[in-house]
Structures are given as structure tokens and as C-alpha cells.
Structure 1
């Protein structure tokens, strides 16, 4: 009798275990696709918020940088960071400091969302290939592989939102005294399409692709590698455990941003000047009084580079570098930290450092 009871109990336990396993499998099967989609959406939201917050925080410096990049050397209005910001404030007020920021956020939110998400997906794919080729299931991404993942993410995000960057550049350059005004993002897009054709929306795309490889690639590679080094090496007692403080992350982001923007900056100047080609009022808008001539008739990236150096010297390739340097450190730092904080708030397990 006792053995029958034992057998009955074992059978009952086995049945319960089997039912529990089946229920778990069924639950996961139903939940997995929706859960994956939700995780992707949360990751995109985190990236978008990171981009919007970081760019708005440094919008005045972003506008000044672009004005310096395309400024007519024969009619200087913006002479340095402090003077330039004061001049914008005096002539255009608070709205002038944030001109083009709405269009910039409309561009940077999807750009940042796609960039961060693409980096995570590219990192996973590259890590899988690396482990398959090396035969080491525990292999980690090297700085060079992170550079590749970051470059891939940058090219995808930049290409997807490039027309918005083109429009943002032109809206940012115009002032209240400009003879012709783009009334907003939609008006600018329709005007450029009507007057210059669809290809005009991708002027400067090639130097952007070339520039985004070291810029975004180095940003991600330096940021992730520096964090990994701090966690493993724990130099100077900076890290007590595997979780880095917000201040430390800001420092990592600042180093990453400084290195990336310094390497890629000349291509950003070339890109911005190419975007002004074909805009009849560009010279007037930049100089404010129509005096002097900017060599705006560029024919491709090489021609733009050659004419810029010939007419204005090699230093012209770094016009606006100071306000950009002041801007890029908090911008990149805030973007990385905001991204990780928002993902923590939304409860996303996957992080860029994973």
C-alpha cells in the first residue's frame, strides 16, 4: 500500500512538473515576440530622448559652430565663441540662440534612436561572428570591433535622417535680416525640392559618410573601452564595483566625444559648405550685407576641400572647432548617460555595455 502511495505521489509530482514546464514554454512562446518588440521600442525611445536632451542643452553652441563654418571671410560677424554668442543674443535675442533647434531635434531624435539601436544590434552580430571565427565562446569585443559597430550605426542613422540635417543647416544659417526666409522644416523641404531637386537633400552626404566612420565609431569604441578598462583595472580607486557612477560615465563620454570630433571635424566643415551650394541667398544670409563672395560653387568633396584651403587657408577646415569642442563634451556625455538612465527607468535589460 505504501509503495502504491509513493508511486502515486511520484506520478503526481512528475505531472505537476511537466505541466509547469509546458506552461512556462507556452508563456514564453506567447510573450517572446511581443516582449522583443517592446524592448526594441523602449531602446529606441531611450535613444531618442538622449539625442533630444543632449542637443537642446547645447543648441546655442551648435548654431554658432555652423555660422562660423560657412561665414564669409571678407565680412566677419562672428569672431570667437563668447563674442559670437553675444552677437546672436544682441541681434536676435533668445530665439536666435535656439534657431534651428526644433528641426535639429526632429532630426536628432530619430537619428539618435536608430544610432543607439543599430550599435547594439551591430555589436551583437559582430560579437557572434568574432566568437565563431575565434572558436572562443567567451571572447569579447575589441576596441577595433567596437569601432566597426559604431561606424555601422553612424552610417545607418546618418543616411536615414540626412535630408533633415540639410534643412537644419540652412534654417540655422538664416537670420532675421535674411532676404529670404524658410518658414520652417516643411517649407524648407518643399522649397529645396522645388528649386533644386531631390538630389539637393543629399548634398554633402559623401563627406558625412566618411566623417561619421571615425566620429561615431570612435565615440562608441572609446566610451565602451574606457568603461571596460575602468571596471577591470580600477585605477586610482575610481571604481569600487562593476557599476560606474554617472560622473565617471560623463567623463568617459567627454573623452570619447573630444577624440571623435577632433579627428572628423574638417569633413563636417566640408559637408556644411556643400549643403549651401545652390542656395541663391546663402552669401547674403551669411554676410548679412551681401559684401564679398564666398566660393560657394563647389563641385564635389575634393573641390570643396581644395577651394576652402586655397581661399582661406588650412585653418578654415577647423572653423567653429572651439564652440564645437565646448559643445561636444557635454553633448556626447549627456547623450550616453541619458540613454542608459532612460533604459534603466524603462526597465530594459539590454545596455550598450552588454
Structure 2
């Protein structure tokens, strides 16, 4: 029983640390998330969204024309989604790692990849409705007379006008985006092993004493860059699928394949990377903060548990 209790405590410590890190990072980076989303859906066709030259121009224009409310459009579902996602991700990920390591001394990169993919799939299925609502709220402007008044109104209206299945638009590219977390966590774990090996002596086994906050931040940023560069096109596809249909109920895109064909034909490779600058500015620093907060909160929780 004590061993089982210890395992459960460890899993929930990972969930708590993950939730805290997600909440911290989503709060200060949200305006860049709004900019990224608006760039992602800008396919050059007729749209009610204004055009922006670059990320600074977009931030300035939104602040001037829409105020703080525009910069923080979709903030509630973003905070909720980020907190829930990170909490569930770290929980599922640690649980998968524990299951895979039962008969092994050390997990291979392939098993780290499998654990991250498993966690990402479960999180995607749980949170897709939150990300859809966030995207639609971020794409609203003051000129939209047929707009959602907030998160709960968006949920009710989507179900009423489009049915509950509409809440899962963009799920397919979202599932492909599971590879993002898999790449990031695998890179993080492997780089972490290397760094611990470089900084620790042979008889030193306490990771909390081996690595510091700067190390965690560097590891988080490095792993994020690799993941963003390889998976960003799936984010563009998902955002374009999650746009609100026209007043006649006609979606801008019917499915992922249509998005891929139209984007490739009219915009080329560049179209699949629209908004990537804002994405990097948002996610590389926040990945640093996320893993720094996560590892430090986890170390504090472990220390407190040891002292009980």
C-alpha cells in the first residue's frame, strides 16, 4: 500500500506541476497567440480579418483598433485549455513512462516517444472543443455583427447551429500534432540526460541538485524549436478548419485535404508557415518558463512529501 500511495502521489505531483506551468505561460503570451491565429487563417481570400505586415504591426494594430480586449480575445478558453492540457499531458505522460519502465532500468528514446504520443492523443481528444472555441473567439473583430459574446455562448451557439460534432473540427490535424509533444518531450528527455551526465559526478544522483532553473529553461527552449519547425503546418491546417462557417452555414474548408490542396496551390510552402514568427516568439520563451516552473514545482512537491 505505501508503494501504491507513493506512485499515485508522484502521478498527481506531475499533474499539479504541469497545470501550474501551463497557467503561468499562457497568461503572458496570449497576445502573440491571437496574432499567430490570425496569420494562420489569412489565405489571401476575402476575409473580414484585417491584413498585417508582420508580428509587431499586428500587435500594434490590434491594440489600437480593438484594445486590450482584442489582444486577449479567447483568453478564457486558452487559459482553461492550457491548464487542463498541461496537467493532463504531464499526468498521462508520467503514467505511461511508469508503465513502460516496470521491466526496464531506463527508457529508450522510442519508449519516450510512445509515452509522449499516448499522452498527446488522450489530451487532444479531451480538449479539442476548447481550442476550437479559442480559435473562433480570436478571429472575431469589432466589425463582426454575428459574433459570440463569450465562451459559454460560443459553445451553446456551435451546438445549436452546427451540432456537437462541430466541436471536433480540426481533430485530425490535432491528432497529427501529437507528434509535436512527442518530438519535444523526447528531445527534452534526451538532452536532459546528456546535461545531467555533463554536470553530475558518478556518485551524484539527485537531479534537483544537479540542474538549475537556467538548465531547465535552456532544455525547454531547445526542444521546442525542434518540435515547432517539424509540426507547424498541422497548426495552420487545424486553424483553417476551425473557422466559423459563413452565415449560410458553409465552411471555408471542408476537410484537411482541401486545406492542403488549396494552400499548396495558391500559397506554396510559405502558406503552411504563416504566423510561425509569432509562434516562435510565443512558444520558445514559454517552453523555457513552462519546464522551469514544472521542474521546480515538482522538486518542491517531492521535497515536501519526503518531509511528511
TM-score greater than 0.5 by the shorter chain: yes
Indicate whether 1:49 and 2:20 are aligned. yes
Q: Which runs of 5+ in 2 are unaligned?
A: none
User: TM-score scaled to structure 1, two decimals?
Assistant: 0.77
Whole-angstrom CA distance in 2 between matches of 1:154 and 1:250: 22
Cα 1:53–1:279 change in 2 (3 A) is farther
Map 1:285-304 to 2 at 5 A: 297-304=252-259
Cα 1:42–1:281 change in 2 (3 A) is farther
Aligned to 1:117, which of 78, 91, 94? Answer: 91
Aligned to 1:127, which of 101, 104, 119? Answer: 101
Aligned to 2:126, which of 153, 160, 165? Answer: 160
What residue in structure 1 maps to residue 224 of structure 2? 257
What residue in structure 1 maps to residue 40 of structure 2? 69
- On the 8 A contact 2:246/2:252 being kept in 1, the answer is no
What residue in structure 2 maps to residue 336 of structure 1? 291
What residue in structure 2 maps to residue 91 of structure 1? 65
Whole-angstrom CA distance in 1 between matches of 2:56 and 2:260: 28
What residue in structure 2 maps to residue 81 of structure 1? 55
What residue in structure 1 maps to residue 260 of structure 2? 305
Cα 1:88–1:334 change in 2 (3 A) is same
Shift in Å at residue 274 of structure 1?
Answer: 0.7
Aligned to 1:247, which of 206, 214, 217? Answer: 214
Whole-angstrom CA distance in 1 between matches of 2:33 and 2:192: 27
Cα 1:160–1:297 change in 2 (3 A) is same
Cα 1:123–1:34 change in 2 (3 A) is closer
Map 1:1-354 to 2 at 5 A: 29=1, 37-74=8-45, 77-128=51-102, 131=104, 138=105, 140-213=106-179, 215-234=180-199, 242=207, 243-276=210-243, 278-280=245-247, 297-347=252-302
Whole-angstrom CA distance in 2 between matches of 1:142 and 1:32: 25
Shift in Å at residue 323 of structure 1?
Answer: 0.6
Q: Which runs of 5+ in 1 are unaligned?
A: 1-28, 132-137, 283-294
- On the 8 A contact 2:23/2:79 being kept in 1, the answer is yes
- On the 8 A contact 1:43/1:348 being kept in 2, the answer is no
Rg comparison, structure with higher value:
1
User: TM-score scaled to structure 2, two decimals?
Assistant: 0.88
Partner SS, residue 193 of structure 2: helix
- On the 8 A contact 1:42/1:348 being kept in 2, the answer is no
- On the 8 A contact 2:136/2:244 being kept in 1, the answer is no
Shift in Å at residue 124 of structure 1?
Answer: 1.5
Cα 1:42–1:231 change in 2 (3 A) is closer
